[in-house]
Amino acid sequence: MKWALEFTPDAKKQLERLDRYTQRLIASWIQKHLLGGVDPRATGKPLAANFAGYWRYRIGDYRMVCKIVDQRILVIVMRIGHRSDVYR
């Protein structure tokens, strides 16, 4: 089964604010690792504390924080940003 991907409005804005190279890097990573039909938990790590229930994906110096909805086979992108800012 293929997983669907959705962006929150905030995540879309965060992605648009990044430079073109980083946008392409993140888009190609998503295409290869999340939309390829494999389990999204295979490439991510679960988060703890304030972000319990969310998963993070490491894309170079950038992080993508997502929520996985198994019932709908959906990955919702909540935040995208540099590793120094994304968890604030």
Domain count, the chain: 1
Asked whether residue 87 is domain-assigned, the answer is no
Strand ranges inside 1-88, DSSP E = 4-7, 45-46, 55-59, 62-69, 74-82
The pTM (predicted TM-score) of the whole model is 0.91
Judged against a pLDDT cut of 80, whether residue 55 lies above it is answered with yes
Per the structure, the complete domain to which residue 26 belongs is given by 4-77
How many Cα neighbours within 13 Å face the side chain of 8? 12
Asked whether residue 49 is domain-assigned, the answer is yes
Judged against a pLDDT cut of 80, whether residue 37 lies above it is answered with no
Q: Residue holding tokens 């190609």?
A: 28
* Predicted local distance difference test score (pLDDT) of residue 6: 96
Closest CA to 25 of 74, 66, 62, 56: 62
Asked whether residue 86 is domain-assigned, the answer is no
Asked whether residue 82 is domain-assigned, the answer is no
Asked whether residue 55 is domain-assigned, the answer is yes
Percent of the chain predicted with pLDDT > 70: 100
CATH number of the domain that residue 22 is part of: 3.30.2310.20
